[in-house]
Amino acid sequence: MEKMKEAYESILIVSCKNGDEAIAEVVGKFKSMIESGATLDSVEEWGKRKLTYLINKESEGYYVLFNFTSDADFPAELDRVYNITDGVLRSLIVKRIEKSEPVPAAVAPEAEEAAADAE
């Protein structure tokens, strides 16, 4: 049976204390890991931003957003590697939900009336 693929997004905050080369190395590592275990849809490097609060005595982090499609077991492995990698301050992986168009409020009551008339 074929496994169901789901869409995910992951935000990664990388430490800035080791310089730009270390940041590029960490981002490249996870980009290649996602490409090998999933379908990488897009990578958005948001760059250096000030943190709301200190994390490991650091006030600045490098933000990266990965959008990918994978089997349900891949995000757990990705999260495990995030947690054991030096230079990763924070990470978050969530399942993307495609938005559908909402039914306008003016149409919904008419649909209910038509269904009641049909009975």
What CATH number did the domain enclosing 42 receive?
3.30.70.60
The pTM score is 0.77
90 near 55, Cβ under 8 Å? yes
Q: Are strands 39-55 and 58-70 parallel, antiparallel or unpaired?
A: antiparallel
Q: Which domain holds residue 62?
A: 6-97
Distance CA 10, CA 68 (A): 8
Average pLDDT over residues 90-95: 96
**pLDDT of 106 strictly over 60:** no
What total of structural domains would you count in the chain? 1
Evaluate whether residue 102 is within a structural domain: no
83 near 36, Cβ under 8 Å? no
**pLDDT of 22 strictly over 80:** yes
Cα–Cα nearest to 26, from 64, 73, 56: 64
Query: What is the pLDDT, as a whole number, of residue 99?
Result: 72
Evaluate whether residue 91 is within a structural domain: yes
What tokens appear for 56 in the block? 């490991």
Average pLDDT over residues 52-72: 94
